Amino acid sequence: MRPFNYSKIKEEKWNSEILGLIAAIYKFAGKQELYLKQRPDELEKLVEIAKIQNTEASNAIEGIVTTNTRIKQLVEEKTTPKNGDEEEIAGYRDV
């Protein structure tokens, strides 16, 4: 890993675009924390849906496909892989 000298950041000139992006990140991080506190169950459901969709899409790029039901079961660890393709899907889930 390459070392990073943080002291050089102080010497940089920051334009308004960069400062605006930093402010936006800070703003959205605050909203995320608020959402985590107010609706953790809904957020967890969205995360699970995203995991399934991401696994399906990433494996489809590699030509690995199965039914939506099997992908959901594999991602949620409710079944064991039946073949090499499903083992790849389970491996992606574990990563």
What is the reported pTM?
Answer: 0.56
Under DSSP, is residue 52 helix (H, G, I), strand (E, B) or coil?
helix
Q: Which pLDDT tens digit goes with each residue over 34-90? A: 878 888 888 889 888 988 898 888 888 888 888 888 888 988 888 888 898 888 888
Q: Would you kindly state where each structural domain of the chain is located, as residue ranges?
A: 14-94
Token pair belonging to 69: 């039901």
Question: Residues 66, 86: contact at Cβ < 8 Å?
Answer: yes
